[in-house]
């Protein structure tokens, strides 16, 4: 058996959580391969709404196993809050959620370092969520981090050594650390909750189970936030692309099967960084309000714009996408005109390949289409799609070169059309 990969193709918030939930019945194991608690996946079904930060989105369906892989960074305090909310809603996870021993821990001082480093940047801020993600990944690469497996052997001594090193850095910047005691209390309470779960050598576990079980690898954030291939430096701190699933779960490249790429019918971005198709007019405001484009973890309003086919073609190429999934199609139901960016004009020259950087003058080149102006949120099958929406789908497939196999028409798992 091979591992299928599901990931976002834009700047995150594409609706990955919902689609993982929809696809989960086809899989025995769902494994998260990168990211931290800054990546909120929102799911809605049976009249309830759930926001997952670190727990894989396959946790709600059947009795499948869910794994937090080695590529994930985990904050015990936030993990405890997330688990207790799920338990209160009737979802017991201790026998179905496994955690890699090689996943790195976000420490209380990582949060302080995150705030400290962001403050030093001034107007050049990245727009971090302040949850310590960046400093944790930095320390992982610098070979000084603590991992889940460290909890099992001599943890207190290891923790105090890292903490002392962090405090020395914070002192150099004269950063206020008076909140540390409160953060630590919550963190160590979370550590006790974390110990209720099984810590595993996830790379061995997954490869053994692949003999006769189907596995879905779930990504966080989006391709354009990848540390290597995204809009650097306004990116996340991990590899969000298909190759990241190999690294974040311990898989050989030939073990990868289908690659599901998710994108919105338009485009959004949170925080700082270039966004060629961003709108500052009524259309952008309508996208934000109709689509409720506010961060599921931070609550921050998302920047909105038309779909960017230059960036999408790039994302499809580096991920090896085999199937496309379009979400939030219903958000554009009321628009008279739909636009799609097919090229960039940079310093007067039209380009169709995603450039090294998007700084400076980048003007989107648009194609305009007639909107469908039809409420699609209650449609149950493809035959009900209005003609102009079908035309939009065909236009996208022709320009992207990959079939759109699933169309989402709303946040609920039932509002999903499989083509």
Catalytically active residues are: 13, 41
Nearest to 97 by CA among 127, 131, 63, 145: 63
CA distance 360 to 353: 16
DSSP-H helix ranges across 126-195: 133-141, 155-172, 180-194
CA distance 41 to 20: 10
CA distance 74 to 205: 20
Q: Taking a C-beta distance cutoff of 8 angstroms, is the pair 8, 316 a contact? A: no
279-284 contacts, C-beta under 8 A, 24 or more apart = 279/304, 279/305, 279/306, 283/335
CA distance 384 to 396: 19
Say whether 31 sits in a helix, a strand or coil: strand
CA distance 253 to 2: 10
Q: Taking a C-beta distance cutoff of 8 angstroms, is the pair 221, 35 a contact? A: yes
CA distance 185 to 352: 52
Say whether 171 sits in a helix, a strand or coil: helix
Q: At what angle are helices 133-141 and 108-121 packed, to 10 degrees?
A: 100
CA distance 372 to 391: 9
Both tokens of residue 324?
């496309």
Q: CA 218 → CA 69, 223, 331, distances in Å?
A: 10, 13, 25
User: CA quadruple 141, 143, 145, 146: dihedral positive or negative?
Assistant: positive
H-run or E-run covering 283: helix 282-290
Both tokens of residue 49?
């709404």
H-run or E-run covering 88: helix 76-88
Both tokens of residue 323?
């199937």
Q: How many CB atoms lie within 10 A of CB 347?
A: 9
Q: How many CB atoms lie within 10 A of CB 174?
A: 7
């Amino acid at each position: 058996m091979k591992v299928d990969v599901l990931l976002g193709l834009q700047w995150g918030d594409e609706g990955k959580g919902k689609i993982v939930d929809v696809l989960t019945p086809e899989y025995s194991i769902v494994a998260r391969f990168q990211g931290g608690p800054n990546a909120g996946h929102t799911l809605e079904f049976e009249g309830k709404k759930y926001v997952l930060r670190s727990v894989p989105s396959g946790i709600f369906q059947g009795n499948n196993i869910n794994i937090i892989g080695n590529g994930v960074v985990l904050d015990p305090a936030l993990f405890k809050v997330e688990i207790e909310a799920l338990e209160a809603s009737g979802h017991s996870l201790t026998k179905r959620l496994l955690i890699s021993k090689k996943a790195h821990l976000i420490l209380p001082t990582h949060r302080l370092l995150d705030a400290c480093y962001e403050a030093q940047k001034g107007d050049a801020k990245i727009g971090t969520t302040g949850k310590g993600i960046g400093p944790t990944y930095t320390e992982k690469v610098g070979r000084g981090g603590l991992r889940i497996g460290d909890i099992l052997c001599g943890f207190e001594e290891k923790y105090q050594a890292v903490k002392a090193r962090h405090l020395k850095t914070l002192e150099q910047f004269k950063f206020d650390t008076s909140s540390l005691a409160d953060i630590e209390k919550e963190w160590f309470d979370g550590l006790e909750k974390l110990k209720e779960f099984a810590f595993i050598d996830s790379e061995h576990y997954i490869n053994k189970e692949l003999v006769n079980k189907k596995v879905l690898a779930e990504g966080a954030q989006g391709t354009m936030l990848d540390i290597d291939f995204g809009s650097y430096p306004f990116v996340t701190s991990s590899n969000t692309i298909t190759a990241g699933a190999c690294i974040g779960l311990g898989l050989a490249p030939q073990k990868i099967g289908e690659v599901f790429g998710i994108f919105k019918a338009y485009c959004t971005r949170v925080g700082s960084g270039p966004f060629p198709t961003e709108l500052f007019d009524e259309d952008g405001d309508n996208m934000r309000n109709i689509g409720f484009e506010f961060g599921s973890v931070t609550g921050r309003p998302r920047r909105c714009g038309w779909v960017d086919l230059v960036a999408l073609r790039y994302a499809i190429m580096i991920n090896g996408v085999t199937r496309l999934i379009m979400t939030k199609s219903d958000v554009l139901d009321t628009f008279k005109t739909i636009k799609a960016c097919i090229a960039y004009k940079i310093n007067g020259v039209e380009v169709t390949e995603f450039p090294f950087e998007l700084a400076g003058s980048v003007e989107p080149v648009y194609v305009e289409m007639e909107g469908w102006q039809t409420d699609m949120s209650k449609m149950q099958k493809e035959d009900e799609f209005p003609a102009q929406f079908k035309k939009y789908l065909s236009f996208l497939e022709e320009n992207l070169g990959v079939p759109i196999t699933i169309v989402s028409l709303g946040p609920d798992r039932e509002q999903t059309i499989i083509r």
